[in-house]
C-alpha cells in the first residue's frame, strides 16, 4: 500500500494528506490544459495550411483502401504537389509498410510529431510508428481510441500541404466519425469498392454514412476490376483464351501480331453501376495487378516500381478526376449539403 497514489496512512492509522506535491500536480494539470489549448488552436488552423482533405472509406475490409489511399497520395506527390498521408487505422496500420517506411522513427519536438518522409517527399503519419512492433495488438476502446485520434490530428506538424489523404479502417465506425467531427474543412469522401455485389452493398453503407455526417461524396473508385493479359500470334487472326470462369474469350491480333485481353476477375462494372445507382460520381477503375501485392510486401508501391505502367496511369486519371472536382468541378450538384 506504501506506493498507492490514493491511500496514505500513518502508522497510527490517521489519514495523511496526499504525498504528491500539490504544486506539481497543479503544474501538470496546467501543462495538460495548455497542450489541449495548443492542440485545439492547431486543429482550427489546419484549414489554412492544408488546402484539401480527403477521406478514403470502404464498407468492407480488404478492398484495397490503403493501397488506393497511398496510390492517390503518391500520384499527387509525383506531380510535384505537397502531400500528406494519414493512416488512422489503429488496429491494422499498414500504410508505412507499403511505402518502405516500416522502420521509420518519428521526431517529436515541442509536443509536435513530425511525419516520416516517403517517396516524392510524401509526408506520412501512422499509428504503426507509435506501436512497439508490427505484431503488437492495439486494444484501445472507445474514449481512449478517440482521444488518440484527436491527439493524432492535432499534434502532427504537417506544414503547408496541397492535399491530405486520410486512410481508415473498414466500415463506418468511430474513426471516420471522430475525424469528420474534429478536423475542419474536409472536402469529401472517396469510397473504394471491388466489383463484387457484396462489397457494393457495403459501399452503399459508406455512401449513406457520408450523407448522414454531411460530407460531400467525391466519388467511387472500383478496385481490382480486370486482369489484362497480352501475347503475340499471327497478325490479323483470331485468338481464343479460356477465361477464369471457363468461358472462351476471343480477340483479334493487330498488324504486328499483338493481342490484349482483359479478364474480369470479379464481376465487372459493379462500382460504376453502384455509383450510377446512388447518384454519386464514378472516379474510375484500377486493374487487378499482381504487382500491387508484390509491391505491398516489398515496401515499394506499384506507382514507384512501375511509374509508367497501367496501374500508375489509372491512378493519375483518377487523381485528375478528383482534382477537377476539388478545384471547383464542372458539376456543383456533386456537392451534397
Ligand X SMILES: Nc1ncnc2c1ncn2[C@@H]1O[C@H](COP(=O)(O)OP(=O)(O)OP(=O)(O)O)[C@@H](O)[C@H]1O
**Binding region for ligand X (CB under 6 A):** 58, 61-67, 89, 92, 94, 169-170, 223-224, 286, 288-289, 292-293, 296
Nearer to ligand X, 290 or 328 (CB): 290
Q: Choose between 94 and 178: whose C-beta lies nearer to ligand X.
A: 94
Give least dist CB 167 to ligand X, A. 7
**Residue 288 touches which of ligand X, Mg ion, none (CB < 5 to 8 A by kind)?**
ligand X
Q: At closest approach, how far in Å is the CB of 282 from Mg ion?
A: 22
Smallest distance, ligand X to C-beta of residue 139, A: 17
Residue 189, strand partner residues: 55, 217
Q: How far is the CB of 61 from ligand X (least distance, A)?
A: 3
From ligand X, Mg ion, none, interface partner of 166 (C-beta below 5 to 8 A by class) = none
Q: How many CB atoms lie within 10 A of CB 62?
A: 10
Closer CB to ligand X, residue 92 or residue 100? 92
111 binds, among Mg ion, ligand X, none (CB under 5 to 8 A by kind): none
Evaluate whether 323 touches 79 at the Cβ level (below 8 Å): no
- Cell, residue 257: 501480331
Q: Which does 58 bind (CB under 5 to 8 A by kind): Mg ion, ligand X, none?
A: ligand X
Set of cell numbers at residue 279? 447518384
Toward ligand X, which CB reaches closer, 46 or 56?
Answer: 56
Instruction: Report the C-alpha gap between 301 and 295 in whole angstroms.
Output: 5
- Least distance in Å: CB of 196 to ligand X? 13
- Of 46 and 90, CB closest to ligand X: 90
Residue nearest to Mg ion (CB): 66
302 binds, among Mg ion, ligand X, none (CB under 5 to 8 A by kind): none
Closest distance to Mg ion from the beta carbon of 72 (Å): 13
Q: Which residues bind Mg ion (CB under 5 A)?
A: 65-66
**Closest CB to ligand X among 158 and 288?**
288
Amino acid at each position: 500500500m506504501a506506493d498507492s497514489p490514493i491511500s496514505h496512512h500513518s502508522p497510527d492509522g490517521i489519514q495523511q494528506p496526499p504525498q504528491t506535491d500539490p504544486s506539481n500536480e497543479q503544474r501538470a494539470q496546467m501543462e495538460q490544459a495548455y497542450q489541449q489549448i495548443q492542440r485545439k488552436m492547431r486543429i482550427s488552423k489546419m484549414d489554412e495550411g492544408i488546402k484539401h482533405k480527403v477521406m478514403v472509406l470502404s464498407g468492407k475490409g480488404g478492398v484495397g483502401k490503403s493501397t488506393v489511399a497511398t496510390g492517390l497520395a503518391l500520384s499527387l506527390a509525383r506531380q510535384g504537389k505537397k502531400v500528406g498521408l494519414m493512416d488512422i487505422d489503429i488496429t491494422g496500420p499498414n500504410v508505412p509498410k507499403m511505402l518502405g517506411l516500416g522502420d521509420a522513427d518519428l521526431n517529436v519536438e515541442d509536443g509536435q510529431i513530425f511525419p516520416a518522409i516517403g517517396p516524392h517527399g510524401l509526408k506520412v503519419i501512422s499509428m504503426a510508428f507509435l506501436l512497439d512492433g508490427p505484431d503488437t495488438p492495439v486494444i484501445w476502446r472507445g474514449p481512449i481510441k478517440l482521444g488518440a485520434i484527436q491527439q493524432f490530428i492535432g499534434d502532427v506538424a504537417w506544414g503547408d500541404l496541397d492535399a491530405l489523404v486520410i486512410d481508415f479502417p473498414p466500415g463506418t465506425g468511430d474513426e471516420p466519425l471522430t475525424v469528420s467531427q474534429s478536423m475542419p474543412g474536409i472536402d469529401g469522401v472517396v469510397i473504394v469498392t471491388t466489383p463484387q455485389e457484396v462489397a457494393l452493398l457495403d459501399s452503399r453503407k459508406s455512401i449513406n454514412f457520408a450523407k448522414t455526417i454531411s460530407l460531400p461524396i467525391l466519388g467511387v473508385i472500383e478496385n481490382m476490376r480486370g486482369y489484362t493479359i497480352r501475347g503475340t500470334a499471327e497478325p490479323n487472326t483470331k485468338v481464343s483464351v479460356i477465361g477464369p470462369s471457363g468461358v472462351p474469350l476471343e480477340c483479334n491480333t493487330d498488324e504486328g501480331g499483338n493481342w490484349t485481353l482483359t479478364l474480369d476477375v470479379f464481376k465487372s462494372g459493379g462500382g460504376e453501376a453502384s455509383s450510377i445507382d446512388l447518384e454519386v460520381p464514378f472516379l474510375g477503375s484500377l486493374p487487378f495487378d499482381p504487382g500491387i501485392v508484390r509491391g505491398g510486401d516489398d515496401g515499394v508501391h506499384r506507382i514507384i516500381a512501375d511509374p509508367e505502367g497501367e496501374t500508375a496511369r489509372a491512378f493519375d486519371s483518377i487523381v485528375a478526376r478528383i482534382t477537377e472536382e476539388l478545384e471547383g468541378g464542372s458539376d456543383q450538384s456533386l456537392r451534397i449539403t
